[in-house]
A = this chain, B = another copy of it.
Amino acid sequence: MNRKQLFQEIQKKKSFLCIGLDTDIEKIPQHLLQMEDPVFEFNKAIVDATHHLTVAYKPNLAFYEANGPKGWESLAKTVAHIRETDPNIFLIADAKRGDIGNTSAMYAKTFFETYDFDAVTLAPYMGLDTVAPFLSYDGKWSVVLALTSNKSAADFQYLTDNKSGDRLFESVLKTGQIWGNTDQIMFVVGATKAEALQQIRQIAPDSFLLVPGIGAQGGSLEEVSNYGMNDHCGLLVNSSRGIIFASKGEDFAEKAAESAGVLQKEMEKHLQEKGLI
């Protein structure tokens, strides 16, 4: 899927929502635990209830890995179910991998061949070598960590290079755009404040940004839309717990759809205001 196709899906669904499948087996409704694969059953119900409201799903790999080999079975079944339900959904493996050479090539094989993802989140610390093998897959995306929303992002991401004057996350945004084009690279930007988003859009005007931090992490969808949107929308805004754990009862999927629907409606309004739908 290229940037234009992703934008078309956003226009069609009037949504730039990404639902994070951070499916913690400790937090899913009790009644699912009797089933053979509770994590998959949970995801299946969430997908069935929300796929018309979202353009992307983002399974968070840690929650699958923690369950051992069985966790990867749940992941594989989830990916297959999403593909069957809606072949145009953009599927992001939130894996934050980062390695080099043949190891990096193996990670690309994992997420683009063994599992049928469209995109993978990658950590930029080791530079281009981390991303290069992912770029060789046509229509697939590398989602590079640039600015993250956590407190200790400041440990390194704000260090200012004495040659360029760029902070580290700005160097990543600039260098990442050299590594690949806007059909191949998007960036994780955990910024929800107007000023930061404006600065980032100056550096990366055309790139898609994956923005976490709406909902549980407290960001404002309005500011993100006002200052982050470009002429292809250019935003995927993620919400995880605020949607998937909206209820802990048997109505969890219904309540997830309600929460996703609230965000979709707000997104529709922002897309209209920008004249994109």
A interface, CB within 8 angstroms of B: 22, 24, 60, 62-63, 65-70, 72-73, 76, 94, 96-104, 106-107, 109-110, 113-115, 123-130, 145, 148, 150-157, 159-163, 165, 168, 171-172, 175
- A72's contact among B69, B98, B151, B168, by CB below 8 Å, is which? B69
Closest 6 interchain pairs by CB?
Answer: A127-B152, A127-B155, A62-B106, A162-B162, A69-B72, A128-B152
Is the pair B127, A22 in contact by a Cβ cutoff of 8 Å? no
Is the pair B125, A151 in contact by a Cβ cutoff of 8 Å? no
Is the pair A125, B110 in contact by a Cβ cutoff of 8 Å? no
Least CB distance from A93 to B in Å reads: 10
Name the residue on B nearest A164 (C-beta): B159
A145 — which chain B residues lie within 8 A by C-beta?
125-126
Least CB distance from A241 to B in Å reads: 9
Least CB distance from A149 to B in Å reads: 8
Least CB distance from A252 to B in Å reads: 18
A157 — which chain B residues lie within 8 A by C-beta?
125-127
